């Protein structure tokens, strides 16, 4: 367990909890603790799905600008790859992952949310990539994941202007998947992924790998990648359990193996 980021596990759901008051600023220490928590969630077989949560007041208001302001090109050039890969560790968790967003998800906070599979957003939350107002651009996946999620034109609008969007607009453009009262954000996120606790873990892993990996390929390569992953699942117990249960008209009791 890190000083500012911890992994809490209950009933098959792992919650990666950010806790660096007052705004969960994502400094270097938080980034590395986030990487460690994501790796632990990925490796723990008892964790079947993950919620990323900043608490009741704020998800993460961005990078620690005081820390970054003192960096020159040489220092940031050495650090930028690690910054991006810390968020990528969340994206690469081979399990369903949902961001539970209250308050602000700005800059690095928005990039962290983008690294998740879904985003449950509080009615009064604000999301955005305001880096342009600091004379820089998003550097932890924002220019890439945002464009893939909501399309390049809308991504350019948010990144070029640095403006924040409310929950309703986030839902309309596809940046949010569910909007609920702030008090219900975490519970709704847990509910969203709870269905996967008893699911076929290896098939879910393959489905995520097929979609995320395929987005980096042309169609022909993506189809070949899908075929490979599809065939590999015929080496799992859950494939036999699922198909036998279908034939017998029974509910499958997946084992995750």
Residue-wise pLDDT tens digits, 121-157: 999 999 999 999 999 999 999 999 999 999 999 999 9
Tell me whether residue 255 is in a domain: no
The count of structural domains within the chain is 2
Asked if 11 and 137 sit in the same domain, the reply is yes
**Residue 131 annotated among the catalytic residues of the structure:** yes
Tell me whether residue 256 is in a domain: no
Give tens-digit pLDDT for 80-134: 898 899 999 999 999 999 999 999 999 999 999 999 999 999 999 999 999 999 9
Asked if 229 and 115 sit in the same domain, the reply is no
- Strand partners of residue 100: 53, 120
Q: Which of 154, 173, 194 is the last residue of a domain?
A: 194
The answer to whether 52 and 90 are in contact (CB under 8 A) is: yes
Residue span of the structural domain in which 111 resides: 5-194
Given 8, 32, 123, 131, which residue is catalytic?
Answer: 131
Tell me whether residue 48 is in a domain: yes
Q: Which of 194, 215, 239 is the last residue of a domain?
A: 194
**Residue 33 annotated among the catalytic residues of the structure:** no
Query: Measured between alpha carbons, how far is 254 from 243 in angstroms, rounded to an integer?
Result: 11
Give tens-digit pLDDT for 151-176: 999 999 999 999 999 999 999 999 99
Asked if 164 and 215 sit in the same domain, the reply is no
Query: Measured between alpha carbons, how far is 71 from 53 in angstroms, rounded to an integer?
Result: 29
Tell me whether residue 208 is in a domain: yes
Tell me whether residue 175 is in a domain: yes
Give tens-digit pLDDT for 199-223: 999 999 999 999 999 999 999 999 9
The DSSP code sequence of 134-161 is: GT----SSHHHHHHHHH-HHHHHHHHHH
- Helices within 184-236 (DSSP H only): 185-194, 201-214, 219-232
The alpha carbon torsion through 154, 156, 160, 162 (nearest 10 deg) reads 40
Q: Which of 175, 194, 213 is the last residue of a domain?
A: 194
Asked if 99 and 213 sit in the same domain, the reply is no
- What average pLDDT does the segment 55-75 reach? 91
Tell me whether residue 184 is in a domain: yes
Tell me whether residue 252 is in a domain: no
Asked if 239 and 182 sit in the same domain, the reply is no
Angle at the Cα of 239 (from 238 to 242), degrees rounded to 5?
Answer: 80
Tell me whether residue 22 is in a domain: yes
Asked if 115 and 211 sit in the same domain, the reply is no
Given 111, 123, 169, 226, which residue is catalytic?
Answer: 111
Asked if 208 and 190 sit in the same domain, the reply is no
Asked if 158 and 207 sit in the same domain, the reply is no
What does the chain come to in residues? 257
CATH at 138: 3.90.226.10
Average pLDDT over the chain, rounded to an integer:
96
């Amino acid at each position: 367990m890190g000083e500012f980021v911890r992994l809490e596990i209950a009933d098959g759901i792992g919650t990666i909890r950010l806790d660096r008051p007052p705004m969960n600023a994502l400094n270097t220490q938080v980034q590395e603790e986030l990487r460690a928590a994501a790796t632990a969630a990925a490796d723990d077989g008892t964790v079947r799905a993950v919620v990323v949560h900043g608490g009741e007041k704020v998800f993460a208001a961005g990078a620690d600008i005081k820390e970054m302001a003192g960096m020159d090109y040489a220092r940031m050039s050495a650090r930028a790859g690690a910054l991006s890969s810390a968020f990528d560790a969340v994206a690469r968790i081979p399990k369903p992952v949902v961001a539970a967003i209250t308050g602000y998800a700005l800059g690095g906070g928005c990039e962290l949310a983008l690294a998740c599979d879904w985003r449950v957003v509080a009615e009064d939350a604000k999301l955005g990539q305001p880096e342009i107002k600091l004379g820089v651009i998003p550097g932890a996946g924002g220019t890439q994941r945002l464009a893939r999620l909501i399309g390049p034109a809308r991504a350019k609008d948010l990144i070029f202007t640095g403006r924040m969007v409310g929950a309703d607009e986030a839902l309309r453009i596809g940046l949010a998947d569910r909007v609920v009262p702030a008090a219900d954000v975490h519970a709704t996120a847990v509910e969203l992924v709870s269905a996967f606790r008893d699911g076929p873990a290896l098939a879910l892993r393959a489905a995520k790998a097929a979609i995320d990996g395929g987005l980096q390929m042309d169609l022909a390569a993506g189809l070949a990648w899908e075929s490979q992953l599809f065939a590999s699942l015929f080496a799992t117990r859950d494939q036999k359990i699922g198909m036998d249960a279908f034939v017998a008209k029974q509910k499958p009791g997946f084992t995750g193996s």
